[in-house]
Each structure stands twice: as C-alpha cells, then as structure tokens.
Amino acid sequence: MGYSTIAVIIFILAYVFFIVFPARRMPVAIGGAFLLVATGVLSPQEAAQAINWNVMGIFVGTLAVADVFMESRMPAYLAEVIINKAKNTAWAILLICVMTGVISAFVENVATVLIVAPIAISLAKKLKINPVNMMIGIAISSNLQGTATLIGDPPSMLLGGYAKMNFMDFFIYHGRPSIFFAVELGALVSFFVLYAFFRNLRRKESLQLTEKVLSLFPTFLLAGLIVLLALSSFFDTGFSYMAGILCMAAGLVAILWRKFIFKGGVRATLKALDWDTTFFLMGVFILVGAMTHTGWIDRTAEFLSSLIGSNVFFGYTLLVFVAVFVSAFVDNVPFLAAMLPVAMSMAARLGIQPSLFLFGLLIGASLGGNITPIGASANIVACGLLKKEGYKVGFGQFAKMGLPFTLAAVIAAYLFVWFVWGR
C-alpha cells in the first residue's frame, strides 16, 4: 500500500470520527497525526513543519488574555449597564447580542458565550420569560462576529495563517475592503432577523447592578494587543512569526498578572486554557499537511475545477454554499483546514486571485455552523447551559432562528465578497 493511499485512508477515518465522536476530536486528530508519522507518510520533521506555529501562538496567547478579561468581569458589567439603558426588553436582548458580537471579534467564541450567558439567564428569570431564543441569539451572534478579525476564532486564524494575512488585512486587503466589512454587512442584515424574534417584548425592566469590574488591566491588555497586532502588519508583512509572538507575550503577561496581582495560581490558569482545541488544531494541520504532501489536495482541486469549468461565479457559489451545508453538521475547523489549499489551487487553475474563493469559503464554513445546535462549539455550550436550567433545545427549535439568521448573513456577505473581489 502506497503512502498516498495510507494518507487518504487515515484522513477519511479521522474526519468520520470527528463527526461520530465530536467529544473525542483531539485524541482522534493526534492519533491520526501519529499514524502518519509511524507509517512513514510524513517524517517527524515534515509533521512539525506542517503545523502553522504562528497560528498556534495566536490561539494560545489569545486564550490566556481572554481568560483574564473574562475574570475581570468587565463584559458582565457592560451587559448589566446595557440592560438598564435599553428602552425595553427587546432592545436589551438585541443590544446584548450586539455586545456579544463586539466581544467575539476579539475573544474566542466559547469564552464570549460563557461571559454573557449568566447575564442573559438572570434577565430571563427576572422577566419570567423563556431564555432559549435569547441564548440562541447570543451564540449565533458570537459565531458571526468571530469571523470578522484575525483573532476572533480559529477559522479566521487558519485563513490568516494560510493566506499570510495579518491583522489589518482583515480590514483592507490589497487596497479593497476585506472580510471584516463582509461580515459587518451580514451582521446588519441578520440583525433584522433577530429583531423579528424579539420585537414583541416591549416591557421595560431594570437590573440591580451586582457586577463589579475587578480590574481594568485585562481590558487595557486586550486593547494593547489589538493595537500591537495592527502595527505588526508593517513589520511582518508575510505574517510568519510576529503575531504569534505578540499574542504569546500578551498571554504570558496575563498569566503573570493573574499570579502576582490577582493571586491566582499559574498551574490553575494554564490548566483552564483550551488545550483540547490547541492539540486538535495541531493534529489537523498534520492531517491536511499529509494530504498536500501526497498530492491529494491538487487532485481534489483538479476534480472541482473540472466541474465548474471556467465559470468563476459558479465555482465561488459552489464553495460558499457547500461550506454552509457541511459546517451545519461538521466542525468547521477541520473542514476549513482541508478546503483552504483546495480553494487556493482552484483559483490558480482558473487564473484568478485566490481571495474570492478563500473569503467565500471562510464565510460559508464559519456561518454555516449557526444553523444547528451542533454546528459550532459556542452553540453546544449555549445549549448545555440551557439544559442545566431545565430547557432542552432541539434541532428544529434552534434552526427556527439559526437558519434565517444564517441565510441573511451569508447571502449579504457572499454578495459583498463577489462584488468586491469577483472582478
């Protein structure tokens, strides 16, 4: 059996196990990577080179900063203030969703949901209303805006690492409006979907302010990191190392601050970080690296290119909506990691700039997860919190809000990217 055959068998089996055993995705990814090295498909050096260490640095460092930002209680305090300032319950919920999106553009989605959820549940109890739609709105708003910036969520980090896009490239890329503005247009259109669900909640309520900001330092640290990432764009134009180093340095500062100022243990802080996703990402990089190394990515791109011929619009549309459908049921990280090199190769075969396919793929893969309760980690966490409160969320109930929200956001962003990058 040749290396090419071994690589594709391990890859397919790993992705099947990702679907069947989502809670075991990390050991599956690491196990698959180990098998690739053990069978000689990749050497240990080639496996290490397949991992994008810059992306890994961004992910781990941002996790540490997000952890202390959440612990400072600043987001929870802002949520309470928003509720009291809103003119009625509907606008309180809508503004909480907007705030969730703003935070999620710079903090990982699951962390964002964990920050905001207690406030939403508290508001629902006070008003004696069902919190399900509110929590779904928070989860899907988080997933949407996590796509807008380089550090918002792992799929954006994957795109940045693969396409060598720095922090500022998510705003303006090659002189044109970039992914941030496509996402914001999608957010604006999908906001009206949220409004339709909550518009009848016209009662005005106030919450007693119980949250206190324990320290402003994490807020300043996060803001400073964003500024430094923007400035790094001028020095590390190839997006090869500096963003990862900056995020890791900020993460180290966050850990030391927590130990010496906030009196928290370093071991406890490190243990609380999302190591499961960290090692999962590393394993996926190696799995996809093996597919590239053995020529499967080029073969897949050649097959898809033969389907679409020279019709760029059809190819772009196919990528976006296949990504939406697949990501509704499959974790978007391994799917996007596998498809990014395919999209790049397809663009090269068609003789076009890869930005069109890459941006469309990111939009479809990231937003498609909003359709079902298992489509994104933030959805799973939100439904888990609701279950603890005695509310079960079925596929149909989640999709009732998630599907129209997703279609509104995807279509708006999809058209924006086509009109900006399709020419």
Range of the domain at 289: 3-421
Q: Please list the residues that pair with 176 across neighbouring strands.
A: 173
What pTM was computed for the model? 0.80
What pLDDT shows up at residue 40? 93
Q: What is the mean pLDDT of the chain?
A: 87
Q: Which tokens sit at 31? A: 């196990």
Nearest of 190, 94, 101, 145 to residue 408 by alpha carbon: 190
Could you give the CA distance from residue 4 to residue 97 in angstroms, rounded to a whole number?
Answer: 47
Confidence of residue 170 (pLDDT cuts 50, 70, 90): very high
What pLDDT shows up at residue 186? 96
Residue, of 179 and 109, whose pLDDT is higher:
179
Residue 415 pLDDT > 80: yes
What pLDDT shows up at residue 207? 62
* Tens digits of residue pLDDT in 212-241: 888 899 989 988 988 888 788 677 766 678
If you write DSSP's letter for every residue of 257-325 in order, what string do you get?
HHHHTS---HHHHHHHS-HHHHHHHHHHHHHHHHHHHTTHHHHHHHHHHHHHTT-HHHHHHHHHHHHHH
Q: Measuring CA to CA, how many Å separate 402 from each of 134, 137, 138, 318, 407?
A: 12, 8, 11, 21, 9
Considering its fold, how many domains does the chain have in total? 1
Q: Are 262 and 215 in contact (CB under 8 A)?
A: yes
Average pLDDT over residues 142-157: 90
What pLDDT shows up at residue 147? 92
Residue 272 pLDDT > 70: yes
